[in-house]
A and B are shown apart, each in its own frame.
Chain A
Amino acid sequence: MRRQVPLILCFVFGIVMIFTQFIPHSLSQSLHQEVRQWYLIIFPFALVFSSIALIRTHVMRIRRRTEHWRYSFLIFIGILMMVVIGVPFGPQHHVFEWLFNNVQVPMDATMFSLLAFFIASAAYRAFRARTLEASLLLVTALIVMLGNVPVGDLVWNTVFAWLPWENATSGMKQWILDNPNLSARRGIILGISLGVISQSIRIILGIERSYLGGGD
């Protein structure tokens, strides 16, 4: 009941979704649509539950007085600010939009912009041409960085004005992206896709059961 039924459900729903995609009969298509609707009904519950689970984690942090536990209260203030306006009036309410644009947006954008500083620092300290492979990575990165910005072509067109190739910096970058980069990426895509397909088959057949978690 605790493990067998979920395995059967997974198998039945998985098989239905595979076969109904290949059978154009109206009955098959209706079944496909019905299962799709079931998925769309169930899925939001999972998302709301995951949010509640995260709130619970912070309640536990406060209860157990873990490091920086007092800051967890700020999480509840943040949640309350959004939920008090958003749940009764909807996300279209101008106060909700104002909070999003003036509180969430600047913090989110700034948090990720910190990486610009750390990338520069790490590049200076660790980006070394120690081996042939590392040199390839480094040279490619430098060409792409230079080719991405207008100063790359400006310098080339000024310094190498006597050469017949205009905008060669961005041209080199484009060639790298279109050829060796494409090959490497395609190899990765093929590898990942074969992995996704085999994993999906294992899940449907009940060989892969990690989603059931531990216990009975």
Chain B
Amino acid sequence: MAAAVLVSLLMMVVDQRENHLESLRSTLSVVVAPLQQIASLPASSGAWLSETLSSRQRLQEENQALRKLNLKLKGQQQKLVALEAENMRLRDLLDSSLKIGDQILIAELIAIDLDPYKQQVVINRGGNSGVFEGQAVLDADAVLGQVVRVAPFSSTVLMITDPSHALPVEVNRNGLRTIAMGTGRINELELPHLPNNSDIQVGDLLVTSGLGGRFPPGYPVAEITQVVNKPGQPFAHILAKPSANLERAHEVLLVRTLTAPPAVTEGTP
């Protein structure tokens, strides 16, 4: 009994501070994975049933809606190609590092519950598909979180609203940089480090600034919902609502930024 408690305490300390226990965790996750598969069965079979049993008319309507959306997106894409080319030219002029583009991998959420006091989800892609720790995860609308743990066939994503998560962002309107912290409540982010006189308004869009090196720059994150200036306090109380559907997402995108290798200049050691 005392031994069990001691070993547990030791493991907790090591797990919190070091990474030595990752191999143990991934070994045990092989045992646990089938159970998680079974636990996710009711939800996934429900989705399968509703798709199989849905009426022809509904499918046609859905198809039509998707066609329209596709057309619209294609229209936007045309402009994007030209803009990207222009961006490349300008970057060339500035001699800044060339961004080739983002490679995207689609993953599905596995319907299982983790610890209710952490904002985490499990997705069905892992190390075998090239997922790596720290990879940015988006849903169709905005940034969702980042990969914190990779198993061979699944990985765990920490969402941006987890209290231990902080994300470097900038205000899209004027480029004001700050950090968005999770609050532990789904659908709420906090911007604790902005002074009272900073130029920020309700409705401003926050996008990733790319400063932390984890998230590629320019992806939407959240929208400001509340700005309260308290005269006695040094910082304003600012809340934002994530644009991603954190509680309803089914499919997510894993982004990997491709940057050109730094050019080797001759003569330098």
Question: A and B bound?
Answer: no
